[in-house]
Structure 1
């Protein structure tokens, strides 16, 4: 994984950070990503993606432009990044508030002040480092034909699931290991309702329009997400097994998207690259 300071940050985002800093009368480091995104005219998730997923990269780019970004980054930002890294490397059970505080260079008291408790911290991590925001943004984009949208969703899911820190695979591993554990409760409160509203709402609309077979929406969601999620969860481990050679990621996206469309679409849908 490359260091955030090595990620090239677009000049327009540096300018937006400086304008937001001037408007609010704060150091750049103390201006929220939401405020910077608003100034840049993009969503927060788009801003994070364009700076390589790290606030530090943006602050370093501001410093490189000749402006001191100011004091230490907010506790909330440092804690979310540290918790995501701990989840990816050591699992959810090891991601205690004490471990996060030590990694983020803050006190447990500061974490309670910023989040109110571990559940809210994990919710913030899930929102930033799982595909939920990316899926919502993709579905909010201008309407596409079914094939283009499905292929785009698979490409986005695969890209997000293979990116470090790998939070979602660690979360799912904890769910499989402890199906009655606290992680399931967190997902039931924070993640599943949004997935049903976003992906489920889109699929229900496609069913109503007659483009997708009339199947239960929860099963359609599983049929859409499960193959690509399982593949990218297992790919790092199985890639070390002699004799196993996976196709490149683009072929994986296309294969799974085509299989989903063959299974649920009410009529053939050519791939985006085969459409006139």
Structure 2
């Protein structure tokens, strides 16, 4: 697509449209709020050159954007709409249904605008994982000063549960696909993007706790799974369990506390005695 033919007869190059979308995305504003100077800078040209290519008026750019499926004002940027639309698609229909055509239809934009905003499907999915999984929240929490081992485990569990319960329910949908189709290429993509981040964030903290002698020194992947798997399974099954055993279903806070204490009993080490040695388990 080399450009868009406007009703005025002026031709707006596709490169200008794409530069406008990139500038709006970089500044996290709607395209209507991006200045011509910002667009020119993104396009690598001067403002006067940009105006000449627009025929002397910004109206031709607005018309070209609308023809490309992007409303210049009053709407969120394409990138934001696409992330939200993709999250809803994954939640309702699964990861395998995510194509640029479906995302564009749901987000009210064009396929070319998605390529301009993300470059490809993988980049779009990574942005969705950033938004709707707990990775960023857990990393931010662990990077800041936090409490002792017990309080930290409890707080991490709350972040995980909040992500599982958040609408759209992207994380439950991803975990369900992991269990249902572990060999699927979409599931492999999830593992390739989530597992390293999980080990680098939560895993790095657990490794530090083990090095400090506060928890057992277990293989990092197993230690991370031991912490996360029980609470993931409980909250994935909770909607179904609640239908058949509502009377015995604990509250969210009760479940978090139970899993916190269970994890600590499994891996926490007693504090060293006055000699600095760990008490004997024998």
Taking a change above 3 Å as real, the CA distance of residues 27 and 186 of structure 1, as seen in their structure-2 partners, is: closer
Structure-2 residue corresponding to 1:182: 185
Answer yes or no: is the 8 Å Cα contact 2:101–2:111 preserved in 1: yes
Separation in 2 of the partners of 1:174 and 1:129?
Answer: 16
| Deviation readout 1:149-193 (Å, 9 max, x if unpaired) | 111111121122111111011111112222121223322432111
Answer yes or no: is the 8 Å Cα contact 1:147–1:261 preserved in 2: yes
Gapped runs of 5+ residues in structure 1? 1-20, 32-68, 269-276
What is the Cα deviation at residue 90 of structure 1? 1.4
What is the Cα deviation at residue 73 of structure 1? 1.3
Answer yes or no: is the 8 Å Cα contact 2:203–2:221 preserved in 1: yes
- Look up the SS of the partner of 2:97 in the other structure: coil
Under a length normalisation based on structure 1, what TM-score does the superposition of the two structures give? 0.70
Separation in 2 of the partners of 1:86 and 1:245?
Answer: 33
Mapping of residues 1-276 of structure 1, within 5 Å? 70-241=73-244, 245-267=248-270
- Look up the SS of the partner of 1:207 in the other structure: helix
Answer yes or no: is the 8 Å Cα contact 2:130–2:136 preserved in 1: yes
Separation in 1 of the partners of 2:136 and 2:32?
Answer: 23
| Deviation readout 1:185-219 (Å, 9 max, x if unpaired) | 32243211111111111111100000001111101
Taking a change above 3 Å as real, the CA distance of residues 259 and 97 of structure 1, as seen in their structure-2 partners, is: same
Under a length normalisation based on structure 2, what TM-score does the superposition of the two structures give? 0.69
Structure with the larger RCO, 1 or 2 (CA within 8 Å, 6+ apart): 1
What is the Cα deviation at residue 265 of structure 1? 0.2
What is the Cα deviation at residue 28 of structure 1? 9.5
Answer yes or no: is the 8 Å Cα contact 2:96–2:186 preserved in 1: no
Answer yes or no: is the 8 Å Cα contact 2:182–2:188 preserved in 1: no
Gapped runs of 5+ residues in structure 2? 1-23, 35-71, 272-282
What is the Cα deviation at residue 29 of structure 1? 7.6
The structure whose Rg is larger is 2
| Deviation readout 1:203-252 (Å, 9 max, x if unpaired) | 11100000001111101100111111111111112222256641111101
- Look up the SS of the partner of 2:145 in the other structure: coil
Answer yes or no: is the 8 Å Cα contact 1:211–1:266 preserved in 2: yes
Provide the aligned length of Structure 1 versus Structure 2: 208
What is the Cα deviation at residue 138 of structure 1? 1.1
Root-mean-square deviation (CA, aligned residues, Å) is 2.2
Taking a change above 3 Å as real, the CA distance of residues 103 and 223 of structure 1, as seen in their structure-2 partners, is: same
